[in-house]
Amino acid sequence: MTKTYQIVFFILLMAACVSCASPSAESHYARGRQYLEAGEPVKAMRSFIAATQVPSEEYIFKGRSYSNMATMCRKGERHDLAYALYDKSLEQFTLADDSLRQAFALNNMAWEKAVLSDKTSALELIDSALLLSQDSALLAKVLESRIAAHLYASEYDSVLLYTAHINAPSVYMNMVRAQAFALLAENDSAVIYARHVLQQTHNPRYLDDVYYILTQCDPAAVVEDLRQLSSQRTDVQRTLERNQPEWIEAMLIAQHSLKPRNPKVRYIIWGLIALALCLGASWGIARFLRRRSRENSIEQQCLELSKAPDMKAQLCWNDYPLFRNACNARLSGIVDKLEQRGLSEREIRIAVLVLIGFSYAEMAEILFRAENGIGKDKYTIAKRLGVSAKELRETLISIAKSHV
């Protein structure tokens, strides 16, 4: 049974190698980040989705993959889809028991609700985030989300109230102030903060709003400044239009990944793989056992035939076609194998008697011939098979056990 254990061990080893060779969620996530930085949104989205589908407990990287997918959807103005993906990231971070990342996920969900003009849900999510963590970076992001909730709810006084408490306003805060003042028709203040934005950054995401505020709120705006700003906006718009098909495809891929699926599908697939491995192992073991049984049966059949008083009847001795069939059935196709080696019918009959283990005297009695003649035939058979007469029986046994 040693070979049996070797076969089973080999199959299990192969299964382990296949499992280890499968890319991890971390590797898929890292590849997705590379594609994203290289400006290939479709490949990035596919890599992030692949990370979320790895059957492992890499919850952090799965959560980060969902977050990146959501951020991509946010850039593509698919805020409903972004919210659903941030919710998925929250599930993974909850499984990882990472309260800080859970808080950031809740805050991101709050932002999407704010953009979707659902101020009540946004503020509830913000409160939930603050219950989980008071990290300084989180507090800054929470403030931005709170301001966004009031901004998209057209509560501009509340926006200015929250931003007034910030000593060193960020680009985003200055942009929000400019928008709030513009919508409150306080043009001078709107222009001041819009120009602050231009001094702080050249980020294209703010160009459109700044251009609108300067053209609508500043009658004395320098024409050259507006022309330059308009040119920048045109370049950005062309870039967005050029990349739009890929981003749209990436959004569709993300949306498809959220379609309801049967949670048992993954387990069914892995069950089928395990079943295939078990069947493969069973087939290998059964083949080995059949081969061993066949090899053992040759000696057993030879022993039974040597002791049988009606051996000639059992082998249909006087009818060669029936003799061939009987010997092939009981002695692993020995007649066919010997015919392929060019032995005659008479030589095959003698070879079968040698294989069974009869002595010269017994063979002479069965064949009604002299022992000397049988000895010469045995020598001829051995010569045809390329062995000595002493090695003939062992050679015949090997031929019977062979597959050819």
Q: How far is CA 383 from CA 235, 343, 363, 399, in A?
A: 92, 11, 19, 15
Give the fold, CATH level 3, of 23-167+208-269: 1.25.40
Percent above pLDDT 70 for the chain: 81
Domain residue limits, the chain: 23-167+208-269, 295-401
Query: How far from chain centre, in Å, is Cα 75?
Result: 28
Say if CB 41 and CB 72 are below 8 A apart: yes
Residue 266, pLDDT score:
57
Quick one: which of 167, 124, 173 has its CA closest to 148? 173
pLDDT at 40 over 80: yes
Say if CB 247 and CB 77 are below 8 A apart: no
pLDDT band at 64 (very low <50, low <70, confident <90, very high): very high
Residue 222, pLDDT score:
57
Determine which of 51-65, 152-166, 269-283 has the lowest per-residue pLDDT on average.
Answer: 269-283
Cα gap 401→322, rounded to integer Å? 21
Determine which of 31-45, 128-142, 272-286, 330-344 has the lowest per-residue pLDDT on average.
Answer: 272-286
* Token code pair at residue 241: 């239009």
Percent above pLDDT 90 for the chain: 27
Residues 6+ away with beta carbon under 8 Å from 350: 363, 367, 374, 377, 378, 381
Please report where in the chains the tokens 């101020």 appear, as a residue. 119
Quick one: which of 44, 65, 42 has its CA closest to 53? 65
Give first-to-last CA distance, the chain, whole Å.
25
Query: How far from chain centre, in Å, is Cα 83?
Result: 26
Residues 6+ away with beta carbon under 8 Å from 149: 110, 113, 114, 119, 122, 123, 126
Cα gap 46→62, rounded to integer Å? 13
pLDDT at 134 over 70: yes
pLDDT band at 106 (very low <50, low <70, confident <90, very high): very high
Residue 291, pLDDT score:
57
Q: How far is CA 69 from CA 214, 215, 321, 354, in A?
A: 34, 35, 75, 78
Say if CB 92 and CB 53 are below 8 A apart: no
For 231, what's the count of Cα atoms within 13 Å in the CB-facing half-sphere?
Answer: 6
User: For the segment 261-302, what is each residue's pLDDT rounded down to a tens digit?
Assistant: 555 555 676 677 777 877 777 776 766 655 555 545 788 888
DSSP string, 160-227: HHHHTT-SS--HHHHHHHHHHHHHTT-HHHHHHHHHHHHHH---GGGHHHHHHHHHHH-TT--HHHHH
User: For the segment 190-238, what is each residue's pLDDT rounded down to a tens digit?
Assistant: 888 888 887 887 766 777 777 778 777 876 665 556 566 666 555 545 5
pLDDT at 68 over 90: yes
Say if CB 43 and CB 35 are below 8 A apart: yes
